[in-house]
Amino acid sequence: MAGLTTKVQEVFDEPGCDKNQGKSEKERKKGCTKQLQPGAAAGGCAFDGAKIALQPITDVAHLVHGPIACEGNSWDNRGAKSSGSRLYRTGFTTDINETDVVYGGEKRLFKAIKEILDKYDPPAVFVYQTCVTALIGDDIDALCKAASEKFGKPIIPVNAPGFVGSKNLGNKLAGEALLDHVIGTEEPEYTTPYDINIIGEYNLAGELWQVKPLLDELGVRILSCISGDARYHEVASSHRAKAAMMVCSKAMINIARKMDERYDIPFFEGSFYGISDMSDSLRQIAQLLVQKGAGPDLLERTENLIAREEARAWEMMAPYRERLAGKRVLLITGGVKSWSVVAALQEVGIEIVGTSVKKSTKEDKERIKELMGEDAHMFDDMTPREMYAMLKDARADIMLSGGRSQFIALKAKMPWLDINQERHHAYAGYDGMVALVREIDKALYNPVWEQARKPAPWEAAWQS
């Protein structure tokens, strides 16, 4: 656990994070996660975060070392899509019992790794630590090392037990596991001056595939996406990329920064959500690649593609602009999605009447202020009751949030749209923005609202 504590400290002390660097030495030691309030907390744990970040690697076995809760209650519940192997959707867990808790779970873990290799033969096994096995002192780092040597396959320890902190911390610890044990351990078959990494994109609902055809057209190769629709080999050889884009705000900044330091892969922070953000991202990819030696014609080709795609997207959205202008959205989501979605929605004339910034960084908040003006309604901690009241009083026309809060809107008989990781629609790139607008329109104009809001005839009679 000493190793883990050091790691957590290290992850908190992130030179790539402006917010962190603005803190005093003492504040920095405390880390960047707020102290959770018992009885009033929501959200996942570090293990959840690590799993979200790595599970999209499709061809490896993801083995959860712990009691049944950690995997049994949650497996196959995320929307990351794969173009190849489906092994990542298989739930593996040591499902430790009382005897293991007393005598230690290492033997069972070792056997479990062997069983997986024998039955499924994956290129690697990722072993996730959990609270109980961390507490009883199972040393997964040492065990994975021994297992790698014994079986001749990479066995990767992911040391992010739930109780060390939040989902965001888990994202970063997952990044550390890749940096320590995976990235740079294999070589690509060939390289091109157009090789990039996309970091922090999980291919939820297949969003990477809304972007990839455009990159393909430009001749830009995604050497590795970390970790959406990724193969182990791609991640292991990602250190040969020429440039990188960091997608999910600060969640995996440690990977981007350390790959820049170690392998000279410059990166920028971008988003695929919203038309102008998408275009900016393509531009920056092209610029970084040209700086690193790609043919300068890439810049012009990129501009041409952007012009074509933007025009196409605006044309497709034109019929919706009139229908959506002035509609008021309540946006409840975390971190990166807030500002990138805000910008995207404003592009079609939708008004944002409030957004949650609970998980957003200071930078995110600045971006939102830039977009929404100084009087932006940012809620640090909006209670469900407040959201309900806001919708019930029709101070918003629709709520966009994660699945858990959907019923606040639906029970107020107000439209709701899922923009979280379990969502079924893909909203990235130009096509994704059109899809988002179409979904909002579908939700707002569905005829059910009219009937659902009408009281039963006998109640109406009683009222009048």
> Which residues, 88 to 117, sit near other proteins by CB under 8 A?
89-98, 100-101, 108-116
Minimum distance, C-beta of residue 64 to other proteins, in the bound complex (Å): 9
Nearer to other proteins, 383 or 446 (CB): 383
Minimum distance, C-beta of residue 258 to other proteins, in the bound complex (Å): 25
Q: Which stretch binds other proteins (CB under 8 A): 132-140, 177-185, 230-238, 305-313?
A: 132-140
445 makes contact with other proteins (CB under 8 A)? no
Minimum distance, C-beta of residue 206 to other proteins, in the bound complex (Å): 17
Distance, in Å, from the CA atom of 251 to the CA atom of 54, rounded to the nearest integer, reads: 12
Distance, in Å, from the CA atom of 27 to the CA atom of 65, rounded to the nearest integer, reads: 33
Nearer to other proteins, 341 or 408 (CB): 408
Question: Phi/psi of residue 268, each to 5°?
Answer: -135, 160
Minimum distance, C-beta of residue 202 to other proteins, in the bound complex (Å): 16
Distance, in Å, from the CA atom of 423 to the CA atom of 203, rounded to the nearest integer, reads: 11
Cis peptide before 271 (omega within 30 of 0): no
Nearer to other proteins, 90 or 346 (CB): 90
Nearer to other proteins, 162 or 432 (CB): 162
> Which residues from 410-439 bind other proteins, rule CB under 8 A?
410-413, 422
- HEC per residue, 82-136: CCCCCHHHCCEECCCCHHHHHHCCHHHHHHHHHHHHHHHCCCCEEEEECHHHHHC
Distance, in Å, from the CA atom of 259 to the CA atom of 184, rounded to the nearest integer, reads: 10
388 makes contact with other proteins (CB under 8 A)? yes
Distance, in Å, from the CA atom of 406 to the CA atom of 392, rounded to the nearest integer, reads: 14
Distance, in Å, from the CA atom of 452 to the CA atom of 27, rounded to the nearest integer, reads: 51
394 makes contact with other proteins (CB under 8 A)? no
Nearer to other proteins, 104 or 184 (CB): 104
With b for 16 or more beta-carbon neighbours within 10 A and e for fewer, the 36-59 pattern comes to eeeeeeeebbbbbbbbbbbbbbbb
> Which residues from 149-188 bind other proteins, rule CB under 8 A?
161-165
Q: Which stretch binds other proteins (CB under 8 A): 52-60, 179-187, 340-348, 387-395?
A: 387-395
Q: Distances from the Cα of 10 to the Cαs of 14, 32, 126, 173, 259, in angstroms?
A: 7, 12, 22, 10, 16
Each residue 215-234 as x (binds other proteins by CB under 8 A) or -, in order, gives --------------------
Nearer to other proteins, 160 or 294 (CB): 160
> Which residues from 14-43 bind other proteins, rule CB under 8 A?
36-43
Each residue 45-74 as x (binds other proteins by CB under 8 A) or -, in order, gives xxxx--------------x--xxxxxxxxx
Distance, in Å, from the CA atom of 56 to the CA atom of 429, rounded to the nearest integer, reads: 20
Site size toward other proteins (CB under 8 A) is 76
396 makes contact with other proteins (CB under 8 A)? no
Please give the single-letter amino acid code of residue 243: A
Nearer to other proteins, 73 or 464 (CB): 73
C-alpha torsion sign, points 238, 240, 246, 252: positive
Distance, in Å, from the CA atom of 53 to the CA atom of 78, rounded to the nearest integer, reads: 11
